[in-house]
A and B are shown apart, each in its own frame.
Chain A
Amino acid sequence: MDEVVGVHGVVKRFGTFTALAGVSLTIGHNQFFTLLGPSGCGKTTLLRCIAGFEDVSEGTILLEGRDIARLAPNLRPVNTVFQHYALFPHMTVAQNVAFGLKMQGMAPGPRLKRAGEMLELVHLSAFADRFPSQLSGGQQQRVALARALAPQPKVLLLDEPLSALDLKLRQAMRVELKQLQEGTGITFIFVTHDQEEALTMSDRIAVMSAGEVRQIGSAREIYEAPVNRFVAGFIGETNLLPVRVGSIAGGMARVLLPGGHPLTCPAADAVPAGSPHVSIRPERMTLVPPGTGDLDATVDRLIYLGTDLQVQARLADGTALHLRLQNSARATPPEAGSTIGIVIEDGAARLLAD
């Protein structure tokens, strides 16, 4: 079994509030695993349960097959990069990085040597004797990383480690973090609410909302084959159109679009309860003359986005939708107030569970 971390039915309650409502996921060796979700969905809580800072109310957390859910944090072979770094202010950078090794009982010689190696890894060798308050935010972030990696944990937990950095640095650190993960072969569990960050770095992503995991998959699976409205809406931009479902067979559904046009599209396995919707990415639709496409709509507004042009339109029943057109000299953009026809690319629409 190639599983490092197994979270099984973890429930976490704070008083009467349920922060995690039965979370299950498995994480393999050498994976960059991301927990993605909106603010307050329980990402930090799940990470803190794995690290041991919160007791789980129910469920088990396995680390290489051993249940660690009731172990004290200092007995768990996982390390954390804290959101605000939590560097020890009274210790130098080198002492910070060596702290975990010292606690593990490594002798001063080897541990300072290893701290030096870790600092080299994060390009901070020149700062070994400074105190954390004498470093920039980005440098502190690297120290936190080196400190957590030094004891060679089985799993590294990172809680939005890039959120305090500016955009440029954040983008550079994404690449570096990914390289570091691949170089060390340590499994990373990375928390973020930034979908771009999640899509660019992760091997696998768990999308969470309101204390539940809504979908787990690769970046491509989650973006191209969302299984429910929440995931479709949260990752990237999408249009959700209400439809009537005819039949579902072999993963394909026959539906009636608003306006009555039929469409065959891939579907999640179960017949969606409640009001079914299809999700269509704005860049997967093209314009045709009115009456000749899958949908007819009235243009509300055009938004110029540089390389792209966004068309905000409205169906006859009032459903809003938007399209993204490549901004090319050949195509004449539609005018506001005009009626347009829309063709949905093959396989672009997906029928979603609620």
Chain B
Amino acid sequence: MAGPAASGSAGTGYRSITGPLLLPTWVMIGIFLLLPVLLMTVYSFLTREFRGGVDWTFSLAAYDRFLLNRGLFGDEPPVLEWTYITIFWRSIWQAGLATLICLIVGFPTAWFIATRPAHSRALWLFMITVPYWVNLLIRTVSLRFLLRDQGPLNDALIGAGLLDSPLQIINTNLAVQLGLFYSYLPFMVLPVYAAVERYNFALSEAAADLYASRWTTLREIVLPVVRPGIIAGCILVFVPSLGAFLAPDLLGGAKTYMIGSLIEEQFKGSQGNWPFGAAVSVILMTLVLIVLMIYARAQGRAGAH
């Protein structure tokens, strides 16, 4: 109901932040966001220095390596290089699946919390964030320990007589999915919670009053109204999942190799290739940017209401 008033111009004097107050923001964005992105983009166009680092001469070698295969000695006619595209595709697929799982689990969770009495919501939210007090690396290593062939999970399953031999979980997609899910679930729960908490349940009553069943109400009323929260949650899970390297590294195997690991390796030790790592990062960032732009457009359309 506050729509037109909120977009009016009468209140600009109270809403705008100007001048010196914005300085820290601009400094932070400049030093920690724009500058690194600029540096990385520049690095991606430089020449590889063996033993790490770069040589300051312009080169397209990094992008060439990503896209084209010129044979082992670089003297064959170029064909499309599938290695890295496959890794990208796998990463997108894994990240998308992780996002979907987080949504399926996170939405009811957020709904549950948002419909608790006001005083207990804070406690539920707090409990969602408790695992995050432990470092992500430690959590992922612990998960590896839990899931491995001689780990507690398999021991328990065999002990209960449900299995004869250990179930191979570690080094599979399942393990990577579990890792991503465990790492990023709160990023889904929190924005969806914020949206559901603001949801006016009288709308659901109105829908039921107008002969809509529960499922129809969910599909036609609830989901469209809380969509901004769902989209925000999906982005917050999808983007870091796409670049994740801890979960694929520690829980997955060669078959689950993802972009994050590829980039990480380029900057590690003397085997690395800084320009190539930078180029892969730039390509990844461009992808993410495209996703965000789609989001912004969806938001813009929703905001028109």
The answer on a CB contact under 8 Å between B208 and A72 is yes
The answer on a CB contact under 8 Å between A103 and B203 is no
A interface footprint on B209-241 (CB within 8 Å = 1, 0 otherwise): 111110010001100110000000000000000
Query: Which residues of B have CB within 8 Å of A132?
Result: 1
The answer on a CB contact under 8 Å between A73 and B209 is yes
B206 at interface, CB cutoff 8 A: yes
Query: Which residues of B have CB within 8 Å of A79?
Result: 209-210
The answer on a CB contact under 8 Å between A133 and B216 is no
Q: Known: A90-B302, A133-B305. Is A51-B221 also a contact (CB below 8 A)?
A: no
The answer on a CB contact under 8 Å between A90 and B225 is yes
Query: Which residues of B have CB within 8 Å of A332?
Result: none
Q: Known: A84-B202, A90-B225. Is A99-B1 also a contact (CB below 8 A)?
A: no
The answer on a CB contact under 8 Å between A134 and B206 is no
Closest to B304 in A: A131
Closest to B213 in A: A74
Q: Which residue from A74, A88, A137, A140 sits with its C-beta under 8 Å from B211?
A: A74
The answer on a CB contact under 8 Å between A103 and B211 is yes
B284 at interface, CB cutoff 8 A: no
Q: Which residue from B4, B210, B304 sits with its C-beta under 8 Å from A147?
A: B210
Q: How large is the interface on A (under 10, 10 to 19, 20 to 34, 35 or more residues)?
A: 20 to 34
The answer on a CB contact under 8 Å between A100 and B210 is yes
The answer on a CB contact under 8 Å between B305 and A104 is no
A129–B3 Cα distance when bound, in Å, is 16
Query: Which residues of A have CB within 8 Å of B206?
Result: 80, 82, 86-88
Closest to A79 in B: B209
Closest to A103 in B: B211
B interface footprint on A155-198 (CB within 8 Å = 1, 0 otherwise): 00000000000000000000000000000000000000000000
Query: Which residues of A have CB within 8 Å of B304?
Result: 131
A58–B216 Cα distance when bound, in Å, is 30
A116 at interface, CB cutoff 8 A: no
Q: Which residue from A72, A75, A99 sits with its C-beta under 8 Å from B207?
A: A99
**Which A residues, 58 to 98, have Cβ-Cβ distances below 8 Å to chain B?**
72-75, 78-80, 82, 84, 86-90
Q: Which of B1, B4, B210, B302 has the most CB of A within 10 A?
A: B210
Q: What is the distance, in angstroms, from B301's C-beta to the closest C-beta of chain A?
A: 10
A133–B2 Cα distance when bound, in Å, is 7
Q: What is the distance, in angstroms, from A315's C-beta to the closest C-beta of chain B?
A: 50
The answer on a CB contact under 8 Å between A151 and B225 is no
Q: What is the distance, in angstroms, from B273's C-beta to the closest C-beta of chain A?
A: 49
Query: Which residues of B have CB within 8 Å of A73?
Result: 205, 208-209
The answer on a CB contact under 8 Å between A89 and B210 is no
Chain B interface SS verdict (over half): helix
Query: Which residues of A have CB within 8 Å of B212?
Result: 74, 99, 103
Q: Which residue from A72, A140, A147 sits with its C-beta under 8 Å from B1?
A: A140
A134–B207 Cα distance when bound, in Å, is 21
Q: Known: A72-B208, A74-B211, A100-B211. Is A134-B216 also a contact (CB below 8 A)?
A: no
Q: Which of B206, B208, B220 has the most CB of A within 10 A?
A: B206
A53 at interface, CB cutoff 8 A: yes
Q: Which residue from B3, B202, B220 sits with its C-beta under 8 Å from A134?
A: B3
B200 at interface, CB cutoff 8 A: yes
Q: Which of B4, B208, B212, B220 has the most CB of A within 10 A?
A: B208
Q: What is the distance, in angstroms, from A52's C-beta to the closest C-beta of chain B?
A: 8
Q: What is the distance, in angstroms, from A174's C-beta to the closest C-beta of chain B?
A: 22
Closest to B216 in A: A103
Closest to A105 in B: B211
**Which A residues, 127 to 161, have Cβ-Cβ distances below 8 Å to chain B?**
131-134, 137, 140, 147-148, 151
**Other CB < 8 Å A-B pairs besides A53-B209, A73-B205, A147-B210, 6 of them?**
A80-B209, A82-B206, A86-B202, A88-B203, A131-B3, A133-B4
- Chain A positions near chain B (C-beta within 8 angstroms): 51-53, 72-75, 78-80, 82, 84, 86-90, 99-100, 103-104, 131-134, 137, 140, 147-148, 151
Minimum-distance CB pairs A-B, first 4: A133-B3, A100-B210, A86-B202, A103-B211
The contact sample of 15 A-B pairs, CB cut-off 8 A, is A51-B205, A53-B205, A73-B205, A73-B209, A74-B209, A79-B209, A80-B206, A86-B200, A86-B205, A99-B212, A103-B207, A103-B211, A131-B304, A132-B1, A147-B210
